[in-house]
């Protein structure tokens, strides 16, 4: 990336549409060391330096909005969120400003993502021409960076699989940025997961 701030022309898209059934509901608005889970995710995205931060809500729209009150982000509701992750992806991509070079897709239940990796992901995606994602201990994680070249494919997705189908069909389209930070893998599915991440925050 040349000229300006490293993430000028890039947006962060936070997917926050799921019902969190394994958690028992209310996952994204749950307290994590004094801050709602979704607020921690959007704060990290904002601190990374993105030009825009877009949050797409669904099942817990009202609770997520309340948790993000005053946050520097745009909040959009996906009426068809029950379809799965693809619905919130499509809605988020459609909401991006026309001039965006690319987008980093964050999951709303992954509050430990290291914001410092975002610039590397964006650059790797630009070099590759399509996408890049972090990798820890051989396992792919989040967020995933996509250039504008991927937007049409993202908007054509259906179901609850997200972009995994694109990567399976065209593995050459994604590059990986290896990191020692396990935060790229840590998501919250259950209350026990939340407790573990809260303990790590306290430490």
Which residue from 54, 40, 48 is spatially nearest to 93, judged by alpha carbons? 54
Whole-prediction pTM: 0.94
**DSSP alpha helices (H): ranges in 34-106?**
37-47, 61-67, 85-95
- Cα distances (angstroms) measured from residue 3 to each of 6, 7, 8, 9, 125: 8, 10, 9, 11, 17
Asked, for residue 2, whether it belongs to a domain, the answer is no
| Cis omega (within 30 of 0) for bond into 143 | yes
**pLDDT tens figures, 125-178:** 999 999 999 999 999 999 999 999 999 999 999 988 788 888 998 899 999 999
Per-residue pLDDT, 2? 45
Asked, for residue 3, whether it belongs to a domain, the answer is no
Radius of gyration of the chain (CA): 16
% of the chain exceeding 70 in pLDDT? 97
Which residue from 41, 64, 62, 35 is spatially nearest to 53, judged by alpha carbons? 41
CB atoms within 10 A of CB 8: 12
Q: What is the CATH number of the domain that holds 191?
A: 3.90.550.10
How many domains does the chain fold into?
Answer: 1
Q: Domain limits at 103?
A: 10-202
Asked, for residue 5, whether it belongs to a domain, the answer is no
């Amino acid at each position: 990336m040349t000229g300006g701030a490293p993430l000028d022309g890039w947006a962060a898209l936070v997917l926050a549409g799921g019902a969190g059934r394994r958690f028992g509901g209310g996952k994204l608005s749950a307290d994590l060391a004094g801050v709602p889970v979704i607020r921690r995710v959007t704060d990290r995205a904002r601190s990374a330096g993105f030009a825009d931060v877009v949050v797409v809500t669904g099942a817990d729209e009202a609770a997520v909005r309340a948790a993000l009150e005053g946050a520097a982000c745009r909040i959009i509701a996906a009426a068809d969120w029950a379809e799965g992750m693809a619905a919130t992806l499509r809605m988020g991509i459609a909401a991006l400003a026309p001039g965006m070079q690319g987008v980093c897709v964050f999951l709303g239940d992954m509050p430990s993502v290291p914001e410092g990796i975002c610039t590397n992901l964006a650059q790797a995606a630009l070099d590759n021409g399509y996408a890049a994602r972090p990798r820890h201990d051989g396992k792919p994680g989040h967020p995933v960076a996509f250039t504008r070249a991927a937007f049409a494919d993202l908007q054509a997705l259906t179901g609850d699989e997200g972009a995994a189908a694109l990567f399976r069909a065209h593995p050459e389209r994604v590059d990986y940025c290896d990191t020692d930070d396990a935060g790229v893998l840590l998501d919250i599915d259950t209350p026990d997961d939340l407790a573990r991440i809260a303990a790590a925050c306290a430490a």
